[in-house]
């Protein structure tokens, strides 16, 4: 087993403090304010055998950055999404990329259901009504047009989190359909071969799709029109999967009824066109945002590094780099 104290891990952008504490206690650590290879000497770059990174879209771990470290073996990323890392290039270079799936699945699914309820039943607005004294001065909060009763739900992205959301929605008595790149084995939900066809068949669309070129602005004007005037759209996946301009227009013109968003294309910048809409329920990317779950994610970042250098095998390699991970 390797003496990890002699192994250099670079943390090139702010990391969860629990992950940083564990990595500091086990490895030799270098830190930078941003992933810019020029901030390190050639000798320092040669020492780096691992990167520990966060999901920060404005600080991508791209091919050029990966190539700057000749002895790099592993990139351990905080978050289930990892489109900020060029995992395909890493895989070709012999560098394993890991993420933190599973440990946040149930938390994000819980948030998705809460956001859906907020969107259709206007619960934040109803609470504001009470706090502003309107219950006493005006009367009962107006009856909501939205309800989950009688709805049909479509899920865009039936991975681990998508299936956890589906299980919760089944308990609500709602029928489930989905669109994925390919049908998922072992589920009884109705599969549609395109996102437009799914949207046309349901009135509630929940997106948990990953980011990347293949899903960029996949939820567009055509999909929203297919969802219809009673439609509700919820995004708990990645902001890049939505054409935000088209969504704002659909909400403003009544093409769909309402939307609930926890993620945005250019976080933390939220388009003014969405902020001004009364039929948009907006959250600041809190899907996995509990102390319990974020600490579990942080532990997995550190545990992937320790497993790789201690046992020669990472715990949660991404599909693009799984071929580099020894079995056993």
Under CATH, what is the fold of the domain 4-103+291-324? Rossmann fold (3.40.50)
Domain 105-282 sits in CATH 3.40.50.720: yes
Burial class from Cβ neighbours inside 10 Å (0-12, 13-18, 19+) for residue 253 reads exposed
pLDDT digits (tens, 9 = 90+) for 12-39: 999 999 999 999 999 999 999 899 999 9
Is residue 280 a contact partner of residue 256, using CB atoms and an 8 Å limit?
no
Res 55: pLDDT: 80
pLDDT value of position 69: 98
**Per residue in 152-161, pLDDT tens?**
999 999 999 9
Min mean pLDDT across 46-55, 56-65, 233-242 is at 56-65
**What are the backbone angles phi and psi of residue 7, rounded to the nearest 5°?**
-95, 130
State the alpha helices, DSSP H only, in 27-85.
42-47, 63-67
CB atoms within 10 A of CB 215: 21
The pTM score is: 0.91
Q: What pLDDT score was predicted for residue 1?
A: 43
Q: Taking residues 133-162, report their average pLDDT.
A: 98
* pLDDT given at position 3: 77
Say whether 105-282 and 4-103+291-324 share the same fold: yes
Domain residue ranges of the chain, discontinuous segments joined by +: 4-103+291-324, 105-282
Mean pLDDT of the chain: 96
Catalytic residue positions, numbered:
238, 267, 285
Residue 56 predicted with pLDDT over 90:
no
């Amino acid at each position: 087993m390797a003496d990890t104290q002699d192994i250099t891990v670079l943390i090139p952008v702010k990391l969860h403090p629990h992950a940083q504490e564990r990595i500091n206690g086990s490895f030799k650590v270098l830190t930078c304010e941003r992933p810019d290879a020029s901030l390190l000497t050639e000798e320092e770059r040669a020492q780096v055998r691992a990167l520990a990174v966060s999901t920060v879209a404005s600080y991508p771990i791209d091919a050029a950055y990966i190539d700057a470290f000749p002895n790099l073996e592993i990139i351990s990323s905080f978050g289930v999404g990892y489109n900020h890392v060029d995992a395909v290039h890493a895989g070709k270079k012999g560098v394993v990329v890991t993420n933190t799936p599973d440990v946040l699945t149930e938390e994000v699914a819980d948030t998705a259901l809460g956001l859906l309820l907020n969107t259709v039943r206007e619960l934040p607005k109803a609470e504001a009504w009470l706090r502003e004294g309107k219950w006493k001065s005006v009367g009962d909060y107006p009856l909501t047009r939205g309800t989950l009763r009688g709805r049909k739900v479509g899920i865009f992205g039936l991975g681990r989190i998508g299936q956890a959301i589906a299980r919760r929605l089944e308990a609500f008595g709602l029928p489930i359909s989905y669109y994925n790149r390919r049908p998922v084995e072992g589920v009884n939900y109705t599969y549609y071969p395109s996102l437009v066809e799914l949207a046309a068949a349901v009135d509630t669309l929940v997106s948990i799709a990953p980011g990347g070129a293949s899903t960029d602005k996949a939820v567009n004007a055509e999909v929203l029109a297919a969802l219809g005037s009673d439609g509700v759209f919820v995004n708990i996946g990645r902001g890049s999967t939505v054409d935000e301009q088209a969504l704002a227009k659909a909400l403003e013109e009544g093409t769909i009824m309402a939307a609930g968003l926890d993620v945005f294309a250019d976080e933390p910048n939220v388009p003014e066109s969405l902020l001004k809409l009364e039929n948009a329920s907006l959250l600041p990317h809190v899907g996995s945002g509990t102390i319990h779950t974020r600490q579990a994610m942080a532990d997995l970042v550190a545990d992937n590094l320790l497993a790789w250098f201690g046992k020669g095998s990472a715990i949660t390699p991404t599909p693009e780099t799984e071929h580099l991970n020894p079995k056993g």
